[in-house]
Amino acid sequence: MSKVVEISPTTRHEGHSKLTLKVNDQGIIETGNWCSITPVRGVEKLAVGKTPEQVPKIASRVCGICPIAHNLAGTEAMEASIKCEIPRDALLLRHILQLANRCHSIALHDILILPDFYIPGTETKINPFTAEEPVRTVAKRIQRLREISQTIGQIAGGDCIHPRNTRIGGMYRNVSEQAKTKMYDLAKEGLVLSHAQSEFMIAVIRNYHKRDFVDVGGMKVPMPKDLGFHDQGYLATHSFYGSSSLDECPSWDIRRFKEARPWDWYMGEMEISLEEPRYPIGGTTKMGTKVNPQMEACTGIPMYDGQPVEVGPRARLVTYKNFDEKGTQGQNIAREMEYQDCFYEMIDCLDELNTSGKVVADYIPDGDGSLGWASNEAPRGTDVHIARVKDWKVQYFSMLVPTTWNFATCSKALTGAPWQLAEVIMRGYDPCVSCATHMIVVDEANKVVAQKLIQ
Amino acid sequence: MLYPEIVIAGCGNPLFADDGFGPAVIEEMEKLSLPDNVMVVDAGLGGPHFIFTLLDPEVTKKLVIVDIADYGAEPGSITKLRVEDLPPGAYRDAHSWDLTEPLQRIKDRVDVTVIGCQPAKVTAPEFEIGLSDEVQGAIPKAIRVILETIGVDYGTTINLQEEGRQRGTAETCSSKDR
């Protein structure tokens, strides 16, 4: 007889989401639903009628963690619509900014997942805030990596949180030779630290997944060897940066994309029949509570070729670097492997950057209403922005953010795992839920049927 | 070091009307000429994970947070708060590290002041751009209070205005310049 258990809210990630799980007598998940419960926002509607300069800035405000990815994807979607090609040096600066953001994000994710893992060879779970070794050294290294990334981002982007150097047509300013040298020095320091950090992380991740049992809130939970496996496929548009051209990037074709309604996808109304007060941070939802993921979910279900797909570090590594590890373990390892690659790529970009080169396009058209799209490989995966600009006014704007893709894919990946490990699977996706909230739903005839979920 | 001795962080989301107070104050403050050991930063929604958890108490001695605060006053009123006055959950890291408060962690080593403005309207979860007149009108006063808090004389800052920032890059999203 199936029972229903719910973990709400989920912790150690950005935004509000919950896991509603139908489990069998052994506590193994039969059907898992992971959904966003952040209320609906209307950034797409707000963008209409604004100038192309304003919209990327609006887009970057939907989330506290990934403003850089949204800013870049938004700006490039506008440029794709007005058909403006930016100078090479501007693109390099954007690329450096984006890589710096990713390095910071990986470091942040390390802190968030570390409490799940053990110090190898012991039964002690890692507390990243402890003053004791060996964790102290790791925590200090993470902080230094974050600092390095943010400083590089600040130099390239003009500001480390909401970059102000980006503009339609390129960048406002190139950097000075001294600034370039400083970024170079920081990237070299970051490279050494990222090597050490990813080695440490990969060791603790492997150690965790090799265990027969792991501890969750005092419960001894068997660790399946296929934790987080799914067969949904992957989507990545570039190994590092992104693209706005189908020639350059045939793997993302807007015509192969469709979005389903949450009520066609998630489970309907149910009653909680399993409660576990020992579950970390306040226990699971009380017995007898009515839940309805269909109506509570705040996101549509994006599909590529009719199926939800995975986006993120593993998708990039599978698509471009023949990576073949599956499941939550593979996902976390892929993220760590991107660490050094980011710094290597950053150093390559800096080598190529000409600080006396121009960074603004000579001619910035007003736009003729063509549809333009840009994908940006954000830390969490492919962030696609779609825009239509005519006479320097935005006529249409839409955002397809990484975690929206992953909601449905991760829900599938939950099947077969002990319910106590559902959050571990979810954290593998490094979810950023608040920006995933997006609600434009089209039906089979591509007509908009719901702009807002009725709650 | 990423952050200097004094950090002024404007928090909030300009897409929720008066919640954009913090970034709007920062935008104004960027027009001032401030001492080298002061950094003004538009934190947006990223304060906890980009600033509060990245400050080095060896370097940063003072953190001023500018935000809206609902304390039952007339809209546009400015108040100065300490970390102890904040309700639990305010500035909880959006990533909810371990459900502790990042400000509680640093408050004994960094002097933290919150400059709060009573909002007239916060539209969340609906988006709306633009501050209400009351909150817009409170910006100069907030800047005076901030400068007083960090011990900088207002007069010396405004006389040395810089052209510095590019027009049209306004981070409050309301700029119509091209």
Q: Of B16, B31, B169, B172, which to mutate for an interface test with A (greatest number of A Cβ within 10 Å)?
A: B169
Closest CB from B43, B170, B176 relative to A161 = B43
Q: Do B13 and A61 touch (CB under 8 A)?
A: yes
| Average model confidence (pLDDT) across chain B | 79
Q: Do A61 and B178 touch (CB under 8 A)?
A: no
Phi-psi region of B17 (alpha: psi -120 to 50; beta: other; left: phi over 0): left
By Cβ distance, the residue of A108, A143, A162 closest to B42 is: A162
Contact between B95 and A58 using a beta-carbon 8 Å cutoff:
no
Closest CA of chain A from B105, distance in Å: 10
- Residue A40 pLDDT: 55
Write out the two tokens for A94.
């954007």
Query: What was the pLDDT predicted at A102?
Result: 95
Which residues, including other chains, have CB under 8 Å from residue A261's CB and lie 6 or more apart?
Answer: A300, A301, A441, A449, A450
Do β-strands A441-442 and A448-450 pair in parallel, antiparallel, or remain unpaired?
antiparallel
Interatomic CA distance for residues B1 and A72, integer angstroms: 26
Instruction: Tell me whether residue A353 is in a domain.
Output: yes
State how far the Cα of B168 lies from the Cα of B174, in Å rounded to an integer.
9
Interface test with B, best of A61, A106, A109 (most B CBs within 10 A): A61
The beta strands (E) that lie in A289-357 are given as: 290-291, 301-304
Lookup: tokens for A410: 């991760």
What is the distance between the alpha carbons of residues B124 and A434, in angstroms, rounded to a whole number? 12
pLDDT at position B1 is 66
* A377 burial via Cβ count (<10 Å: 0-12, 13-18, 19+): buried
- Residue A455 inside a domain? The answer is no
The verdict on a CB contact (< 8 Å) between B126 and A150 is no
Contact at CB, A61 and B43, closer than 8 angstroms: no
The secondary structure element, H or E, covering residue A397 is strand A393-400
User: Does B95 reach chain A within 8 Å, measured CB to CB?
Assistant: yes
Residue B125, preceding peptide bond in cis (omega within 30° of 0)? yes
Distance in angstroms (rounded) separating the CA atoms of residues A283 and A281: 6
Nearest-CA distance A66 → chain B (Å): 9
Short-list A348, A297, A68, CA closest to A184:
A348
Best A57, A65, A145, A389 member to test B by mutation, with max B CBs in 10 Å, is A57
Q: Tens digits of per-residue pLDDT, B92-133?
A: 444 444 334 677 778 888 999 989 898 898 877 778 888 999
The shortest C-alpha distance from A363 to chain B (Å) reads 14
CB atoms within 10 A of CB A307: 12
- Which chain A residue lies closest to B169 (C-alpha atoms)? A164
Using pLDDT thresholds of 50, 70 and 90, give the confidence band for residue B89: low
Complex ipTM:
0.81
Per-10-residue mean pLDDT, chain A, length 455: 89 83 94 81 83 91 86 95 95 96 93 92 89 91 95 92 93 96 97 96 96 93 94 92 82 83 87 92 89 84 90 95 94 95 96 96 94 92 93 92 89 94 94 55 36 30
* Number of cross-chain residue pairs from A and B with Cβ atoms under 8 Å apart: 115
Contact criterion met (CB < 8 Å) for B127 and A129 = no
B15 touches A: beta carbon within 8 Å: yes
Q: Please report the pLDDT score of residue A46 as a whole number.
A: 85
Pick B46's closest partner by Cβ from A15, A64, A129. Answer: A64
Q: What are phi and psi for residue A230, nearest 5 degrees?
A: -150, 165
pLDDT for res B96 = 42
CATH architecture designation of domain B6-158: 3-Layer(aba) Sandwich (3.40)
Report pLDDT for B164.
47
Contact B94 A434 (CB under 8 A): yes
What percent of chain B has pLDDT above 70? 79
Task: Please give the residue that has the higher pLDDT: either B101 or B3.
Answer: B3
- Smallest CA–CA distance, residue A65 to chain B, in Å, is 6
Structure tokens at A16: 């509000």
- Nearest by Cα to A58 from A43, A45, A72: A43
Q: CB A66: neighbour CB atoms within 10 A?
A: 28
C-alpha span between B63 and B74 (Å, rounded): 26
Distance from CA of B173 to the nearest CA of A (A): 6
pLDDT at A447: 38
> In this complex, do B94 and A46 lie within 8 Å of one another by their Cβ atoms?
no
Cβ-proximal residues to B9 (8 Å cutoff; 6+ apart), any chain: B22, B26, B41, B43, B47, B51, B63, B64, B65, B66
C-beta atoms surrounding A332 within 10 Å: 31
Residues A150, B95: C-beta atoms closer than 8 Å: no
Q: How far apart are CA A436 and CA A400, in angstroms?
A: 8
Under 8 Å between Cβ of A285 and A272: yes
pLDDT tens digits, one per residue of B120-168: 988 777 788 889 999 999 999 999 999 999 988 877 776 444 444 443 3
pLDDT in tens, A336-380: 999 999 999 999 999 999 999 999 999 999 999 999 999 999 999
Q: Could you tell me which of A5, A21, A56, A63 has the C-alpha nearest to residue A430? A: A63
* B119/A contact by beta carbon, under 8 A: no
Backbone angles phi, psi at B40, to 5 degrees: -105, 135
Whole-number pLDDT of residue B161: 47
DSSP B47: I
Check which CATH number belongs to the domain holding A396 and give it. Answer: 1.10.645.10
Chain B residue whose CA is closest to A109: B95
C-alpha distances (whole Å) from A130 to each of A140, B56, B108 are 11, 17, 17
- B91 near B67, Cβ under 8 Å? no
pLDDT at A265 (0 to 100):
86
- Residues B17-28: tens digit of each pLDDT: 898 999 999 999
Residue A224: give the domain boundaries. Answer: 3-450
Assign B116 to helix, strand or coil: strand
C-alpha distances in Å from residue A274, one per residue of A2, A5, A35: 10, 5, 19
- The strand pairing partners of B79, in sequence order, are B116
- Interface test with chain B among A63, A152, A160, A166, by most B beta carbons within 10 Å: A160
Query: Could you state, in order of their start, the residue ranges of all structural domains in chain B?
Result: 6-158
Structural domain total, chain A: 1
Within a domain: A413? yes
The neighbour count for residue B123, using CB atoms within 10 Å, is 15
**Across the interface, do A151 and B2 touch by the CB < 8 Å criterion?**
yes
Question: What does the pLDDT average to over B40-53?
Answer: 85
Helix (H) or strand (E) holding B40: strand B38-44
pLDDT at A298: 77
Task: Nearest by CB to A172, from B94, B166, B171: name it.
Answer: B166
pLDDT at residue number A15: 74
Distance between CA atoms of A205 and A123, rounded to whole angstroms? 14
Tell me whether residue A99 is in a domain: yes
Of B171, B177, B178, which is closest to A57 when you measure between CB atoms? B171
Give the closest-approach CA distance of B176 to chain A in angstroms: 7
Residue of A51, A111, A161 to mutate, interface with B, max B Cβ within 10 Å: A161
